[in-house]
Chains A and B, each alone.
Chain A
Amino acid sequence: MMQGEARVMEVAPATGLEPPPLYEARNVSKRYGNVRALVGVTFHVGCREVVGLLGDNGAGKSTLIRMMSGIVRPDSGEILADGKPVRVVSRSDSERLGIETIYQDIALVDPMSITRNIFMGREITSRFGFMRHKRMAELAVDVLQSAVHIAGIDHPDTEVGFLSGGQKQAVAIARAVYFKRRILLLDEPTSALSVRETERLLAYVAGLKQENVSSVLVTHNLYHAFMVCDRFVVMSHGQVVFEAAKEETTIEDLTDHVIRT
């Protein structure tokens, strides 16, 4: 009875309106000593969209990404998920919200195998916590081949330390893709990839929208961004200086904003 009422209460205000964004940061700030990394940033990720987060080095893009994934704690401001205020102060908080991140400094453990890296911290285990190696290896092969097929990765038991930069990036992407939930954060994912691998990845990110996964793409490459993003947010010196949907802007316009600010 009580539960039924509560559910009605929750749904009622949303009917007839846009659904609230999956993730929203309102007026967040972050300082590192004297450096103001984020200054009153307001940013959101909606349902089924790819947001391009642009800006020059040191604009605060990585800090914002790290804050979204719970590694960096904001000094002030508000964070909402599905319109409700939440605390995101650890990786497990962001995991609960369905946020997966591919980091710029690839977060892989070199001495561990590809499979173990993909399932690190989220091992498939029996009831007593013993790992099901075979199952994980099969899934690893699967996800490596389907998501971003990168040449040269022949065996999931290969140590990550023996892989090239692009191959490592592929493993990191495969990991995030396998655990994709609702929001995929990609921090300069193409920096180590070849042209072909980059195209595959971008196509994949765009395709994820169909599976109800939104993405945030941080990149220097405006052409890449323009290929797949639905909306663009340009940052400079820790602030959001420009925001536009794809239809409202052109690549020249974006370039202008990134360079000028």
Chain B
Amino acid sequence: MDRLKFAGKVATGSDTLSLGWNAVIQRLRAAVRKRPAGGIAVLFVLVQLTCIAGGLIFPEQFRYLNPANIRVTVMSVAPLGIMSLGVGMLMIAGEFDLSVGALYSFCAVFAATMANNHFGGINNPLSPFIGASLGVGIGIAAGLLNGAVTIGFGIPSFITTLGTMLLWNGGVLLYNGASAVDFLPKPPFAPLFGGQFWLMDSGFLWFLGLAVVCSFVLHHHKLGNHFYAVGGNQQAAVAIGIDPAKVKLIAFAITGGLAAFSGIVAMTRVSSVQPGGGMGMELRSIAACVIGGVALMGGRGSIVGVVLGTALVFTINDVLLLLRAPGFYFDMFVGALIMLAVILNHSIRRRSWT
């Protein structure tokens, strides 16, 4: 009799326990399905856990948790990350920018040349600030040009920005020649944009800060809401009274400005800039966005996704470096990752549909 009672108690106890677990799992599942970045977040956590486990089990062969490794990886994230924030928002608004890589170089070279040769030279603490502002200004202007041509003439932005990409790639050589430009600013510019704090550098902190700002604009400001509306269904947006030209112009300008800023941050860290340094970054940033769940046709995506997508790309890069894999493996893995991420996102979406 007593035993029976006891058994009954145990049974109910384990029932509520398993029910609690089920509820937690279900809630997690719902969260993963509802968020556009849900799939990539799961993938990111899994990759990180695997890497950390690997680093703990083989601390000598796989130095993932070595502070020097963490520092280098984190440092490398910022330029592509900052660029991807703009590229992602523009993609959500339904347009592409292939000229960001070229702008990255052009604006940095322009900013460095301005700071070196004007405003009292590079030894004047103010001069790099003015140079950098001009560089970002050029980036914004170039973004507006992309937008104006795309919208004004009704050309696909893929074509417009393919043109301006070549334009700026050639322009930087015309302006500067093929030689690298030194950029050795004095404080406070140098620590503000190229400093190192514990495991993080200032570029990474800028990336995180800008990600927070972009996230607020995209997810909580009406401008961001209009990005989604215009990218998701332009005709509906027009019918409801949103001006797609204005919205897209702003998105193009933000993208150009962030591309320029990413170039300047990268240049400050390494103290010089190569005219061709940004080549290929446009596709890598689109890749990071797509991995992070931004829809290629617009209307879908999130800043968290873009950040995780970029971080995942660099985690893979780091792992390959630590395993001493040849460089070409990187592209292969990123290629595979793009497909994996898209398939994952797609299947999650389809399942939550029913």
Interface residues in chain A, defined as those with a beta carbon under 8 Å from any beta carbon in chain B: 69, 71, 90-92, 95, 101, 103, 105, 107-112, 116, 120-123, 125, 129-131, 133, 157, 162
Contact = CB atoms under 8 A, between A and B. Distances in A.
B225 A116 contact: yes
Nearest to B295: A111
B90 to A, nearest CB: 16
Contact of B237 (A101, A111, A120, A157): A120
B241 A121 contact: yes
A172 to B, nearest CB: 10
A69 B240 CA distance: 10
28 contacts: A91-B240, A95-B241, A101-B239, A103-B239, A107-B233, A107-B235, A108-B236, A109-B229, A109-B236, A110-B232, A110-B233, A110-B299, A111-B295, A111-B299, A111-B300, A112-B225, A112-B232, A120-B229, A120-B236, A121-B241, A123-B222, A123-B225, A125-B221, A125-B222, A130-B221, A131-B220, A131-B222, A157-B34
A112 B232 CA distance: 8
Contacts of A123: 222, 225
SS class, residues of chain A in contact with chain B: loop
Nearest to A90: B241
A107 B235 CA distance: 7
Contact of A111 (B232, B235, B238, B352): B232
**10 pairs of A and B residues whose beta carbons are closest in the complex:** A109-B232, A107-B236, A91-B241, A107-B239, A123-B222, A111-B299, A109-B233, A121-B240, A111-B300, A121-B242
A157 B239 CA distance: 22
A92 B246 CA distance: 14
Contacts of B353: 162
B34 to A, nearest CB: 8
B248 interface: no
Interface string B325-349: 0000000000000000000000000
B216 A130 contact: yes
A133 B225 CA distance: 11
Interface string B236-267: 11111110000000000000000000000000
Contact of A133 (B220, B295, B352): B220
B153 to A, nearest CB: 21
A90 B239 CA distance: 9
A129 B232 CA distance: 21
A108 B222 contact: no
Interface of B: 34, 216, 220-223, 225-226, 228-229, 232-233, 235-242, 295, 299-300, 352-353
B240 A120 contact: yes
B242 A120 contact: yes
A107 B229 CA distance: 11
A1 to B, nearest CB: 38
Contacts of A122: 240-241
SS class, residues of chain B in contact with chain A: helix
Contacts of A129: 221-223
B228 A109 contact: yes
A111 B352 CA distance: 13
A14 to B, nearest CB: 30
A120 B238 CA distance: 11
A157 B219 CA distance: 13
B347 to A, nearest CB: 15
Contacts of B221: 125, 129-131
Given A109-B228, A116-B225, A120-B240, 4 more contacts: A71-B239, A91-B241, A103-B239, A107-B236
B256 to A, nearest CB: 22
A109 B240 CA distance: 11
Contact of A116 (B223, B228, B239, B352): B228
A110 B232 CA distance: 7
B218 to A, nearest CB: 11
Nearest to B36: A111
Contacts of B237: 109, 120-121
Contacts of A125: 221-222
Contacts of B229: 109, 112, 116, 120-121
B238 A91 contact: yes
B239 A109 contact: no
B222 A109 contact: no
A121 B226 contact: yes
Nearest to A157: B34
Given A111-B295, A111-B299, A91 B239 contact: yes
Nearest to B222: A123
Contacts of B240: 91, 107, 120-122
A197 to B, nearest CB: 22
A69 B242 CA distance: 14
Contacts of B34: 157
Contact of A92 (B235, B241, B300): B241
Nearest to B300: A111
B241 A108 contact: no
Contacts of B295: 111
**Max chain B Cβ within 10 angstroms of own Cβ: one of A101, A131, A162:** A131
**Max chain B Cβ within 10 angstroms of own Cβ: one of A122, A123, A162:** A123
B238 A71 contact: yes
Contacts of A101: 239
